Amino acid sequence: MDVVDLIRVKRDGNALGDAEIDWVIAAYTRGDIAEEQMSALLMAIYFTGMTSTELNRWTAAMIASGERLTFPGLGRPTTDKHSTGGVGDKITLPLTPIVAACGAAVPQLSGRGLGHTGGTLDKLESIRGWRASISNEEMRAQLRDVGAVVCAAGAGLAPADRKLYALRDVTATVESIPLIASSIMSKKIAEGTSALVLDVKVGVGAFMKDRDRARELARTMVGLGSAHGVNTVALLTAMDTPLGLTAGNALEVAESLEVLAGGGPTDVVELTITLAREMLAACGLAGGKDPVDAIADGSAMDCWNRMIRAQGGDPTAALPRARHQQDVNASTSGRVVRLDALAVGVAAWRLGAGRARKEDSVSFGAGMQLHAKPGDVVTAGQALFTLHADDDTKFARALESLSDAVQIAATDAAWAPAPLIIERVGS
């Protein structure tokens, strides 16, 4: 086949055939197609889209570029969750042991943060000794013994996506819904789970700002999961305001432990419990042990401790704390009616909690504590945020991001809370 012919097919708005898709994905993964040619094909897809038949085959070819995990002999159904990323989104941390404590096996392959959204692996690596990279054999053993694992995806899982993702990032083709959906779902399907719940974030702090596009992405991913034998549902959830009261690695671990202990911010608890019930229903465990009971009886916390120890971590060790703290105070009294998630995420990133490039390191103790959320009444001089950084010269840039992050209105101003769960997509 000739890749130029395939580029021309997509450029002119026509569909690629199964054999053409299989060939182009395999050839690019092997290195037989030049980067500039694949860039042209991605741009053609960006502008002309893909049919559902094309997208199913494209995703299947990406899965076939590497290994597909299986988990025989677990004695319990597998289920997983994927979030498209947001500010303060630490939900995977309490969610995984809660669902495992209710009888499911949770093989959670996660990633690192880039830009203003934090990565689950970065958060967990703030725990002394914890390691993200484990072998497939270790993963299977941990699922049998503990029921829960959060780890990095191995190099053998959907290697085509790794190359395509890097190329999309430098060719302005990231926003293509077919390419987003195939990237996410190829990894999740190859992961080997039988059921999947997608948390598609919508709002200023999310990758998807527009509700209609978020809904389209959710429906596309649900369709891909179903077409490949994975029972898949999606929730659209709000990301105009940060989740919880922390943004930063160790700070978010501490907040997750509060949830597992029966406390924690109401929005984090609500989303965790909602997603847990969806995951259990998706894998056939609806009507069994409820996530609320798993928290109350301590079994979720016990599962957390065993999960952390199984990957070399010490769940009793003190979490890292940044060397410097600085409060940001309210300039006026009234009711908080807006707290910009993107501004908070950028500030936490500038404080050292995130990275600009994949090879950058993060500061585990850096980040922000939020002392007021929309609906709260504050007085002038009251702390709205506490900034945490190992390098106090980072405060100035973080404060620039926060200059218009909070809107305070009169206490009697009309205000109503926005729903956290916007919509459900799937059967």
Q: Which of 168, 201, 371, 394 is catalytic?
A: 168
161 is catalytic: yes
CA nearest neighbour of 109 among 117, 118, 120: 120
Strands in 377-378's sheet, in edge-to-edge order, are 377-378, 334-339, 406-409
Record the tokens describing residue 95, joined without a space.
Answer: 């969610």
Record the tokens describing residue 420, joined without a space.
Answer: 């956290």
Q: Which of 22, 80, 161, 340 is catalytic?
A: 161
Q: Which of 123, 187, 228, 388 is catalytic?
A: 187
Residue 215 CB coordination number (10 Å): 18
Vertex 256, ends 181 and 96: CA angle to 5°? 50
Record the tokens describing residue 137, joined without a space.
Answer: 């054999």
Q: Which helix (H) or strand (E) holds 28?
A: helix 18-30
- 8-state DSSP, 127: S
Q: Which of 126, 183, 186, 256 is catalytic?
A: 183
Query: 220, 177 in Cβ contact below 8 A?
Result: yes
Amino acid in the structure at residue 136 = N
187 is catalytic: yes
Q: Which of 82, 163, 228, 277 is catalytic?
A: 82
Record the tokens describing residue 188, joined without a space.
Answer: 């999740």
Buried b (16+ CB within 10 A) or exposed e, 114-153: bebbbbbbbbbbbbbebebebeeeebbebbeebbbbbbbb
Instruction: Give the residue carrying structure tokens 């999310």.
Output: 206
299 is catalytic: no
371 is catalytic: no
Query: 383, 327 in Cβ contact below 8 A?
Result: yes
Query: 397, 280 in Cβ contact below 8 A?
Result: no
Record the tokens describing residue 251, joined without a space.
Answer: 């700070």
d(CA 333, CA 331): 7
d(CA 343, CA 403): 9
Record the tokens describing residue 144, joined without a space.
Answer: 């049998």
Q: Report helix, strand or coil for 400.
A: helix
Residue ranges with strand state E in 54-130? 80-83, 106-110
Catalytically annotated residues: 82, 161, 168, 183, 187
